[in-house]
Structure 1
């Protein structure tokens, strides 16, 4: 018997790896049937704004708007692929706990599909990656995406230099 996933969470941070995770999540959702739901999330790390002396809500609004536009593009792409049930949200807090604990419990997530690395290399060096934390602590299955749709290794840093400019 094949495992059927009903609620798939895909963290989106604008990275190439997150896009690979999204594309594979669409493929998994299509294989799992029309009742499968995709949940896209972008978590605004509020800790990044704690050290700014003159906290400017315009900054948070700009980050939120950029995240929403990115996810709107993904939603459109998923619908064109045949996904009927897809939603998105922008959450605020610590990405690790929002992705690994809060949203899975709140949404009944049974699979998290997450890119192998995200955008924040400094945080990864200092306190560990979000992906590592999610794989270690989530109560549901976690699929770490390291390859493209043809299961070929993801592009190297040099090969994807223009990725974010092309989005």
Structure 2
């Protein structure tokens, strides 16, 4: 019997890497007749260094995330993906994407784009994709290629 995924989460942040993951996640969700969960985590650690933080930055980030997710949802439905939902969370993306959202939402496959970090950046801060691979309890698919399984030209040197 073939493995069928029921709920596929794709982490999106507006980056080119996330766009590749989203494109492939739509296809995997349709092949599995699965729900596609679009997840965006607003990294609140970035706001901690702003001394005059009064909530305006978080509101702006939330509004941008909502617009991004609505665009992805519209695109997924136009592509034929009927079961699409979205979630916005706040905090450090690593544990939210690897553990909390999958546990809370019953996710059985996580799809995310490969990071654009270079070797030095990965050494000091680590990538979200590396963390998710190590800590997720469900299957994880890291997307590196486009729908034709080719590395995008703008990503070849990373």
Matches within 5 A, 1:2-41: 2-33=2-33, 36-41=34-39
> Given the two structures, how large is their TM-score scaled by the length of structure 1?
0.87
Contact 1:104 1:110 in 2 (8 A): yes
Q: CA RMSD in A?
A: 2.1
Residue 129 of structure 2 corresponds to: 131
Alpha-carbon spacing, 1:54–1:42, altered in 2? closer, same or farther (3 Å): same
What is the alpha-carbon distance in structure 2 between the residues aligned to residue 108 and residue 64 of structure 1? 24
Q: Which residue is 2:82 aligned to? A: 84
Equivalents in 2 of 1:123, 1:61: separation in Å?
A: 29
Q: What residue in structure 1 maps to residue 92 of structure 2?
A: 94
For structure 1, list consecutive stretches of 5 or more residues without a partner in the other structure: 160-167
Mapped contact 1:18–1:118 kept (Cα < 8 A): no
Shift of 1:123: 6.0
**In 1, distance between residues paired with 2:27 and 2:88?**
23
| 1:95 and 1:130 in contact (8 A); partners too | yes
Task: Please state if 1:111 is matched with 2:124.
Answer: no
Give the TM-score normalised by structure 2.
Answer: 0.92
